[in-house]
């Protein structure tokens, strides 16, 4: 019986040790808040919000406006200004289109899916509130 008790205590001690603190837990004791890799000087400040001017416009210019501007094949849905791109996210399924797989009906750009980093960025732009600047 004593052996069983000793073993139980030993197991309990081991179990409590197995949930070992990560480097981040030690850096931010108690909170479990991960450090912010994009803003290492201020780990508690969230990363800056994605904005149209800073992050999104260059992706749309490089991948979409070849067709989505006046005189081109998709002139009915221009994507050359903040208001136009925002409206396309809100009313024309832009986020769905860019997240389809290459070859799927409706994928944008039509030639195939963009790099995942670009897609993630535009999705996060929406999450962050579709800010202009």
Which residues in this chain contact ligand HEC in the complex, by CB under 6 A?
A: 63-64, 66-68, 73-74, 77, 88, 92-94, 97-98, 106, 108-110, 114
Nearer Cβ to ligand HEC, position 43 or 131? 131
Question: Closest distance between ligand HEC and the C-beta of residue 131, in Å?
Answer: 18
Nearer Cβ to ligand HEC, position 48 or 115? 115
Cα separation, 60 vs 52, in Å, equals 10
What's the chain's length in residues? Answer: 133
Give backbone dihedrals phi and psi of 51, rounded to 5 degrees, phi first: -125, 160
Paired with 51 in beta bridges are 131
Helix axes 82-91, 116-127, angle to 10 degrees: 90
Question: Closest distance between ligand HEC and the C-beta of residue 129, in Å?
Answer: 19
Nearer Cβ to ligand HEC, position 36 or 126? 126
């Amino acid at each position: 019986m004593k052996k069983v008790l000793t073993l139980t205590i030993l197991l309990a001690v081991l179990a409590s040790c197995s949930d070992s603190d990560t480097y981040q837990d030690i850096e931010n004791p108690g909170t479990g808040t991960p450090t912010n890799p994009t803003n290492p000087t201020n780990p508690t400040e969230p990363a800056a919000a994605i904005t149209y001017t800073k992050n999104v416009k260059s992706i749309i210019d490089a991948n979409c406006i070849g067709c989505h501007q006046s005189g081109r094949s998709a002139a009915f849905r221009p994507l050359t200004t903040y208001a136009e791109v925002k409206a396309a996210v809100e009313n024309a399924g832009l986020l769905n289109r860019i997240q389809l797989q290459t070859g799927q009906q409706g994928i944008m750009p039509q030639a195939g899916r963009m790099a995942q980093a670009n897609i993630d960025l535009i999705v996060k732009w929406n999450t962050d509130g579709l800010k202009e600047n």
